[in-house]
Amino acid sequence: MNALLRVEHLVKRYPVRRRGILGGRAVGQISAVDDVSFSINAGEALALVGESGCGKTTTARAMLHLVPATDGEVWFDDADILPVFRGTNRAAILRVRRGMQYIFQDPYLSLNPRWTIGQTLREPFRVHRHARQAEWPDRVAALLQRVGLEPDHAWRYPHEFSGGQRQRVGVARALAVEPRLLVLDEPVSSLDVSVRAQILNLLVELRVALGLTYLYISHDLASVRFIANRVAVMYLGGIVEVAPVAVLFRHPLHHYSHALLSAVPVPDPDTKPTRVVLSGEPPSPMNMPSGCRFHARCAAALPVCKTTRPPLIDVGDGRLLACHNPR
């Protein structure tokens, strides 16, 4: 199958400055994303999971040039897109942007409170000149219905909606330009359980009905299991394991994936926790450990783990793994 999106050796570093009278000086750098490569096939949902600070959101943002990447390449539909974003050809930039849209975590912050829902949904058409102006009202109505809202809702303001409805608007806005790839950054984590289920169902339904491709970013592993086909586990700026969802959840090979999955509490009092409790906390990305990023917290670390970073290699079953001493 052909990859719709390929991310190759993506790097994003932030300088750390000590503040001074004359602007300060760089005293180090944070490697938020450190040599990340993955690909997503057309029609697939890839989940990027990991704990806060592991670089999953930065990866997605660097991929879409919402923050400029330090290094690396992003191929979308066999075109190298980061040079396009860095260039000045606005038409070309918009063409790429139409292909990939972003849905934000917080539906309270990602909608303009002074715009009606209709204004918000017309904006992509205006910016991208995606449809003739005469068609906009019909298009907006169709979008609202597509995400389970009423056409009348176009006249209302965000504050009149609940969190779940606002996230539906966020989804409708992303769908306006008919993208092929949606980047979903924790789209349900600010929603209550009963509403979360509605949005998760909507996302699955839309993907099947419209043939969309998802990059689903989340720390909520139960929702990942529900929505994703494949899962990439990130730790401290790097991917440690990628596998089909059932393969990974049944038998994670990387020690960090295992610890992460076993830490999720199962909603059943009879399930005995077979938990690998990780000691300590992730190290600071400012002084990245040598060798394997995870070696200091890993119970199975070998001497080689301290010195050599394990490459992400294919180990069969559609699984990629970066570990010298897998489970």
Partner 1 sequence: MTDVPPLLNVRNLKVHFFTQAGVAPAVDGIDFRVNPRETLGLVGESGSGKTMASLAVLRLVPPPARIVSGSIEFQNRDLLTLDEAALRDLRGKHVAMIFQNPAYSLNPIFTIGDQLTEILRWHEPVSRTAARDRAADLLRLVGIADPLQRLRQFPHELSGGMKQRICIARALLCNPALILADEPTTNLDVTIQAQILDLLAELRDRLRMAMLLVSHDMGVVARMAHRITVVYAGRTCETGDARTIFHTPQHPYTRALLESTPRIDHDYEHATRPTLRTIGGRIPNLATPPTGCRFHPRCAEATEECAQLRPVPFEVAPGHSVSCLKRGSPGVAA
Residues of this chain that bind partner 1 (CB under 8 A)? 51-52, 162, 164-165, 192-198, 200-201, 204-205, 208, 219, 221-223, 225-226, 229, 244-246, 249, 259-271, 273, 275, 277-278, 281
Considering the complex, what minimum distance in angstroms separates the CB of residue 245 from partner 1?
6
Q: 23 vs 280, which CB is nearer to partner 1?
A: 280
Considering the complex, what minimum distance in angstroms separates the CB of residue 93 from partner 1?
34
Distance between CA 178 and CA 188 in Å, rounded? 22
DSSP class of residue 54 equals S
Considering the complex, what minimum distance in angstroms separates the CB of residue 191 from partner 1?
9
Q: 169 vs 200, which CB is nearer to partner 1?
A: 200
Q: 265 vs 311, which CB is nearer to partner 1?
A: 265
Considering the complex, what minimum distance in angstroms separates the CB of residue 256 from partner 1?
9
Nearest Cα to Cα of residue 38 among 318, 326, 323? 318
Q: 63 vs 278, which CB is nearer to partner 1?
A: 278
Considering the complex, what minimum distance in angstroms separates the CB of residue 28 from partner 1?
18
Find all residues with CB under 8 Å of 156, minimum gap 6, and list them: 116, 117
Q: 13 vs 225, which CB is nearer to partner 1?
A: 225
Beta-sheet pairing, 45-49 with 79-80: unpaired
Q: What is the DSSP string of 94-143?
A: HHHHHHEEEE-S-TTTSS-TTS-HHHHHHHHHHHHT-S-GGGHHHHHHHH
Residue 148 backbone class (left: φ over 0; alpha: ψ -120 to 50; beta: rest): left
